[in-house]
Amino acid sequence: MAELTTSSAGRGSHGRTLSKTLPRVDLTAMVDLAFLLITFFMLTTTLAKQNAMAVTMPADDTEPDRPVPEKRTLNIFMGNNDRVAWYVGSPENHTPLQHTRYSGNGLRKIMLSQGAAIRQSTGKDMIVLIKPGEKSKVKNLVDVLDEINITKISRYAIVDAAPAEKKMLAGL
């Protein structure tokens, strides 16, 4: 609220006292608003923390490609329109190509079942090769990486599809 205070400024020329009114503005409401804004922005920055998954990428391409054991390899192909296909093995010798979804009942179930089967037959962990298509979305790659993180698969790589695989996946 604003107050008006009066003070005597001395005597005028006719012997009367002159009084000046000095306005005083109460800034309590403005301080309250400032604290509310500070609190609001502190809360929203706390809620807007980004979650990121660390992906380790190779430093350079000077090393030759290492052969991947085909009996331990699950190949995941990401196509357009949220389609995903997979097989176990190498492009020359593999199980039949199958299609699934990016959900817990789809990709996660396959990763868990194939991981258990590979672990039982070879005694070693499964290796997942993620092969994004030319028209696949970043969201789909994030979905695959989330499923890998959920199923606790420690060996995976993001690679390009071989030419033979690209022909096989032309309709995906």
Residue 36: which pLDDT band, with cuts at 50, 70 and 90? very high
Q: What angle do CA 119, 101, 80 make, to 5 degrees?
A: 120
Residue 120 is assigned to a structural domain of this protein: yes
Q: What's the pLDDT score for residue 34?
A: 94
Is residue 78 scored above 80 in pLDDT?
Answer: yes
- The CATH number linked to 82 is 3.30.420.40
Higher-pLDDT residue of 91 and 106 is 106
Residue 163 is assigned to a structural domain of this protein: yes
Q: What's the pLDDT score for residue 35?
A: 94
Residue 139 is assigned to a structural domain of this protein: yes
Higher-pLDDT residue of 12 and 90 is 90
Residue 3 is assigned to a structural domain of this protein: no
Segment 62-87 shows an average pLDDT of 81
